[in-house]
Amino acid sequence: MLALAMGAFPAGAQSYPERPLRFIVAYPAGGGADLVARAVGQKLGEAWGQQVVIDNRPGGGANIGAELAARAAPDGYTLFELTQTHSVNATLYPKLGYDPLRDLAAVILMATIPSILVVHSAVPVHSTRELIDYAKARPGALNYASTGSGGPQHLGAELFKTMSGVQITHIPYKGAAPALTDLLGGQVQCMFGNMLSTLPHIRTGKLRALAVSSARRSRVSPETPTVAESGLPGFESGSWFGIHVPAKTPRALIDKLNAEVNRILALPEMRERFGADGAELVGGTPAEFDAFLRREIGKWAKVIKLTGMRVE
């Protein structure tokens, strides 16, 4: 998407930014959210000649960083990386210290990363439809792993359960490594896994890929159908990463940020870098991201209500 010409912005926006920007990330350094923020922040800093400082504020189910961003001055110098987790938290936590729709303003959806539905090679199914039939014939007999309660993989599996009507048991782990270890060992039978970490085991035959959770097939595994085209129309899940700023940030500054990040996301080097990990760089307008967030909040609110999920 083409960035707007400088002349399209009001005079105040043309001089912005005049000092370093803070980019709050509600997760530890080194994870997927942090890597996306750092890559975009670096390019943003190079383009504008101002440092973009990544401020990692993990904890509180990703709410600590969000509350900090919501209370920041609406001057365009505080960015916040809002993720799929925050769309879940809007319903999962009965008392949040912020409202993502009221206290934060959408700038742009940067990237989405689908999960991939896999089963242990010993499970005698080769498609999503076969898995559904197999699970329905054995209610409660299958276990699925996740990287932790409330995360994208857990929520994706719960959405799968509500849409398919199967009864499979959630086994949460503290991270991807132990979850994958038990899946490979057969202690659990299936998982909505991380694309990057599961593909090597799919290629060796230890795991069998059934479907990807995105709306479209992944360029990393184009032979794998989506869950939606495998019998559950409308299914879509996975991780995503966007930029918000404090509410009441001037529209001209939001538009300038949006235009520059759209330009960055269109760079071939960025698409190659993240495409190799199964990520899709998105872009678009602030209004499109706001509408996307509202749909996500509504979708996960239904899943949380149906499953009775709550914060432990």
pLDDT tens by residue, 108-155? 999 998 899 999 999 999 999 999 999 999 999 999 998 877 778 888
Q: What is the pTM for the complete model shown?
A: 0.83
Contact 117, 192 (CB under 8 A): yes
Q: Is the pLDDT of residue 92 over 50?
A: yes
Q: State the angle between helix axes of 84-92 and 286-307 in degrees (0 to 180), rounded to the nearest 10.
A: 50
Give me the pLDDT at residue 152, please.
81
Band (25; pLDDT cuts 50, 70, 90): very high
Contact of 245 with 76, CB cutoff 8 Å: yes
The arithmetic mean of pLDDT across residues 91-115, rounded, is 94
Residue appearing with tokens 């009965």: 94
Domains and CATH numbers, the chain: 6-113+238-307 (3.40.190.150), 115-230 (3.40.190.10)
Phi/psi at 63 (5° precision): -90, -25
Check: CB of residue 17 under 8 Å from CB of residue 92.
Answer: no
| Contacts (Cβ under 8 Å, ≥6 apart) of 129 | 230, 231
pLDDT value of position 9: 59
The residue count of the chain comes to 312
For residue 171, the tally of other CB atoms under 10 A from its CB is 16
Over residues 155-176, mean pLDDT: 91
The pLDDT score that the predictor gives to residue 3 is 40
